[in-house]
Amino acid sequence: SERVVLLLVKSVTTRTCRSAGTMAPLRWAAPLFFSFLRSTRLLLMLGFLCSSTALFAHSKLDVTSRTASKFVPGVVQRQRSASVAGSSFIGAQGIGGGGGDSGGFSAGVVKDSLRMILGDTDVSVSTFQPRLRPVAVPVAGWKQPAGLTVSGGADATATIATESNIGTSADSSGGPAGGGAVEVEVVGNTIKVDGVTLLENMPSTLRAAASSDLTGVVLGLLDDGPAKAQWDIKLGHLTSKNLLSCARIKRWWMAPQWPDSPSDVPIETQFLVAEVVAGGPYVVMLPLIEGSFRSTLYGTAGREAIQTSPRAVPKADETLLSMRVESGDKSVVASAIPSTLYIAAGYDVYETVERAFKEVSAHLGTFKTRASKPEPPLLRRFGWCTWDAFYSDVEPVGVARGLEELAEGGTPARFLILDDGWQMTASHGAAAREAKKERLKEVLRLREAKKAAVAVKSKVAEKAKVAANFAFSCSKVAEQERAKKAAHKVKDALPHGEEGEEGECANAGSPEEDEYCDVGDPINTSGTTLTGDVVGQVQSTNTDTPAVIKWLSDKAAKFYSNHVEHAAPDKWTVRLWAFLCMYVLKGPFLEFYDTFTDFSKRLTSFEANSKFQTAEKPFSSFVSDLRHRFATLDLIYAWHAMPGYWAGVSLDSTDTAALNPRPHLPTPTQFVKEMEPGVQWDPVMLGGLGAIPNDKASDFYQGIHRYLRESGLDGVKVDAQGAMGTFGEGNGGGPELVRHFTSAMEGSVSDNFGASHCINCMCHSTENMYNYKLTTMARVSDDFYPRDTPSHTYHIAAVAFNSVFMGEIVNADWDMFNSKHDAAGIHAAARAVGGCAVYTSDKPGEHDFDLLRRLVFPDGSVPVALRPGRPTADCLFKDPTGYADPLASTSAPPNVAKPPADPTALKIWNTNRFGYVVAAFNLRGSAWDRRRRSYQTFEEEVSPVTAKITIGDIPAWAPTPAPGSAGVAGVAAAAQFESHFRHTDEVVVDSAADPAAAASAAELTHTLEPQLRRARRTSEGFGADSVAERVVVAYSHVSGDVKLMRASDEISVELGTRDYEVVTMAELTALTNPDSSAGVDVDVGAGASASASASANAHGVAGLSWAPIGLGNMLNSGGTVLRCVWVAWCRESTCTDMQGQRNEPTNQRTNGPTNQRTNRPTNQPTNEPTDQPTS
């Protein structure tokens, strides 16, 4: 406290002296003055007195509000009393950098001041700010202190050396390049990559800082003007043409885009990859979060493209790239933000992305990369989720039925996700409660009609007819008829309410099944996109609504559908609708949301609702019954939303009163409103969020997670995370608020279940992703919508391209799918190569077990690839959908449609333990339309595409065009080969706490060693010639073909609508006689074997060669190979393996233990089935 006061006295006195032009006396008097003060006990009193006097006299002093106490050079000083964890502090944010004639001090002067205060002790700025980043400051007229390096041209900048987690400063080129890193250097106002200009005409407000710990460059903002809460910065002209951006399309979700030019980069772009020149190097741009400020990229044309009347972008600005930096809280302002954008470069795009995230993780200190976290326990288990099967109408009997049918079909679920629908919730408002009562009455009447209709279809037809006739002849005939008509209307409006023929229920029969059929409430719009048509038809089902109101509702719904739903965010109809919803139609809309949706409901208790527990049977009984009935069920997770429920926590419930919830309206940023105008009439915008105070966040998560743990559950799926940032106003900004709640959530998950037992969902803002320190898994795309046909193919493109970036932070969750579905095959193939958890959300009775058995073993385990699946390098900058929005680029005349892109297939690659897998897909015809904010079909008759699969699709097998000699390229290629496997230090396992997981990690390392040794042995000579000599075996799953391939060979596959092919690749290994340098001559016989031998000889393979393909009937056949014992030669009584060990012959097969269950997931309870498959 004394040091803070001394620094404050120094800064205020300096400001006062500078404004009076009397700096000279301060330079010689200050040391004596502060030495005297340090020896007195009146220090604090005098300090506060001087500070108050100076502040009163210096009326031009600015005031700023921040939520963290730290010193940032260049930020305008402000003082404001704030409260953190119940204590008061002075929110001094920095010194200098103010506008006008107030002048300012650099961080170097701050450092000198600290030396004066503390004596001769050499103290860095990080004494007061542990997270201080190197920041460039002007050096004109300022003496350079020790520990400071200056680089650059005419606009030279100085970089402060600190003892922070960045390390010491280095040349702005990015320090010594390591691995596949390429030099990134700042020359004046230009950034160059490997000598090639990347970004030119950077503004003077951007300053570059580099460190020996970074292979790239960090750009920060330093402006001499007034502090602001929002900055729009023109980064400069980007010379690259091939671009891949990942930008948010909703508050919750992100999707890929392939801009034609830098100006076409869409708003809310959070990750960007650029190809500097054809074939590399590649550049990765990562907008950062520093404190309360979040950065995103965009282009002028990308923003104009979604407006009503897009303006054409001048030719000179087509390469202009911009950045927005904002806090989300008008009171949180700054004029200097040290870290806004990170730029890294390399010749291997995957290595570059991985390195960039690793360095940004160390730089920000707010998240950890996937490689440093343990593998989620559910990753190699097959699972089932209740969402698409029941939506929020889930009931225990339906859960049991779903698990039972999967087990009977030979693909038992090893994990269960109990999704939305199990919690205690309530709507708010008296009108809502009355509407709820009416809704329940309607449901009861509808159930009677449904039971009668089901009975007509039963085997006892005559008796059922008598019962039905009697039912319809009673006094409730009119109510039943109205209920039937309402049900038909709702079924037309709500696709998930369809049951096939009128009154038919596929599960009718026994009383239990009849009860199961009735769990669906057709009036609940859960799981349905609320289009204008749906809202209008649902409203019309209320028989008590006056005709005039129905007519008005119908007109309003049509107006919304025709003039608002897909209109540009700046159109007058959108602004009018937002005004009407907030001030005229607010009551009717809230009543609609309360009656027919879940989105305005709030959590009333931590406990399960009456469907899942009673006074006699608590929630734990339901959980224990499931475990007792289904022996293979290892893990059970429950869903909950990050704010409690969709509209937060109840303000009236006694069970949540201890949390002190308060109403809070969201304040979305301008870009969020442009990206998703619907946030302006969202239920939470109209009715407010029942917000949990920051100091109660930990209590909330601990409460709900403790209840779930004590009930016998193993983990949670935490949803609705992406909207938390919209509540940053008054909370220190969105990034600060989300960081606090994410930390509390992760801490509670870790305490109650273990950090790896969490699925993060609806979390595609960097506010969320850059705060995952502990949790290891997250969804990487929008939902799989079973009945939204245009979304089916685009979903695969979204998960693959988003995994390029998100896969470096978390294990990618590619979402559930339905096995009995028109798009089931292509989605199953995507999951096989995705390196993700495989789980479905099939309705009971709707399964394709033939397909599921190509993904899942009979014991419920899954052969999952080792990394998140990503597009091959030749697909990164090509849109596999072929989509061309008429207004995708405003560089061309507006409203002029561009022709669709050339047909191209999407190829996704991944790693198995003994090889690789590449899958090709035809995803043309549909895509997300950023202007209309929906999935659109633009090509009814999809053109076939041709996929060309080569061994160069695998980065470890492709020669890298690194600068220098062939030897350098060979070393880099060998390093790439090794980097694409999990290393020992990547598998973080506590051997004491989890011996099984430790053994699995050791086994994984052991199985990879032979390939790694070969990579190291051949690293020096591994150049273009070695690549040409490599021979691999390629097995095509769909066609069943086996082919030997060299670098010059390819597999050409023509793919029709929703077609796919999965190719397993393994390197061919020759088995030779250890006593002879010659190969072994083998008579392979006739037929197919002779053909294979001829093929082998044609590729120069002498003698007997082989490669482990795996189980050919599995989509990821290579993933089924867990262990190989390579035998070179066997003679009489002994055998010699590849390590030279001599073993006694046995009658057992030599490809590994056969009486061992090696494909079982680790570190979980053992539920061993009786039939143990061999690997």
382-399 per-position pLDDT tens digit: 999 999 999 999 999 999
For residue 424 the two structure tokens come to: 């205690």
1072, 1128 contact by CB (below 8 A): yes
Q: Which one is predicted more confidently, 1122 or 416?
A: 416
- Taking phi first (over 0 means left), then psi (-120 to 50 degrees means alpha), and beta for anything else, what does residue 485 get? alpha
Which pLDDT value is given to residue 495?
38
* Bond into 281 cis (ω within 30): yes
Tens of pLDDT, residue by residue over 84-107, are 333 322 223 332 333 333 333 333
Alpha-carbon span 256 to 801, nearest angstrom: 6
Give the pLDDT of residue 377.
Answer: 96
19: region left, alpha or beta (phi > 0 left; psi from -120 to 50 alpha): alpha
Q: How far is the first Cα of the chain from the last one, in angstroms, to the nearest whole number? A: 65
Say if residue 1165 is exposed, middle or buried (CB neighbours under 10 Å; 0-12, 13-18, 19+): exposed
Q: What is the pLDDT of residue 23?
A: 46
Q: What is the pLDDT of residues 608-643, one digit of tens each?
A: 999 999 989 999 999 999 999 999 999 999 999 999
CA dihedral 876, 878, 879, 885 (to 10 degrees): 130
pLDDT at 1155: 33
Q: What is the pLDDT confidence band of residue 676, given thresholds at 50, 70 and 90?
A: very high
101's tokens: 């004639």
Q: 703-715 burial, b if ≥16 CB within 10 A, otherwise e?
A: bbbebbbebebbb
Taking the C-alpha atoms of residue 1021 and residue 782, their distance in angstroms, rounded to an integer, is 45
CA dist 748 and 699 (Å) reads 9
Report angle CA 758, 661, 730 to the nearest 5 degrees: 90
Which of helix, strand or coil describes residue 220? strand
CA dihedral for 1137, 1143, 1149, 1153, sign (positive or negative): negative
Whether residue 119 is predicted with pLDDT greater than 50 in this model: the reply is no
Chain-centroid distance, C-alpha 950: 29
562 or 997, greater pLDDT = 562
In this predicted structure, the answer to whether residue 1104 has a pLDDT above a threshold of 50 is yes
Token digits of residue 1064 = 């397993």
Beta strand spans in 125-200 (E)? 136-137, 148-151, 157-160, 184-187, 190-193, 196-200
Alpha carbon distance 869, 370 (integer Å) = 14
Report field, pTM of the whole predicted structure over 0.85 = no
Mean pLDDT of 197-214: 87
Question: Among 244, 235, 243, which residue's Cα sits nearest to residue 186?
Answer: 235
* Amino acid identity at 855: L
Query: What's residue 225's pLDDT?
Result: 87
Paired with 290 in beta bridges are 293
Mean per-residue pLDDT, 68-93:
31
Across all residues in the chain, what is the average pLDDT? 73
β-strand partners of 384: 416, 840
Smallest CA-to-CA distance from 403 within 419, 414, 394, 392 is with: 414
1051: confidence class by pLDDT, cuts 50, 70, 90: very high
Per-residue pLDDT for 928 more than 80? Answer: yes
Q: How confident is the model at residue 452 (pLDDT cuts 50, 70, 90)?
A: low
Q: Summarize pLDDT for 344-364 with one digit per residue, the tens.
A: 999 999 999 999 999 999 999
Residue 910 has pLDDT above 60, yes or no: yes
Cα–Cα distance, 465 to 1007 (Å, whole number): 66
pLDDT digits (tens, 9 = 90+) for 231-269: 999 999 999 989 999 999 999 999 999 999 999 999 999
What pLDDT was estimated at residue 893?
Answer: 44
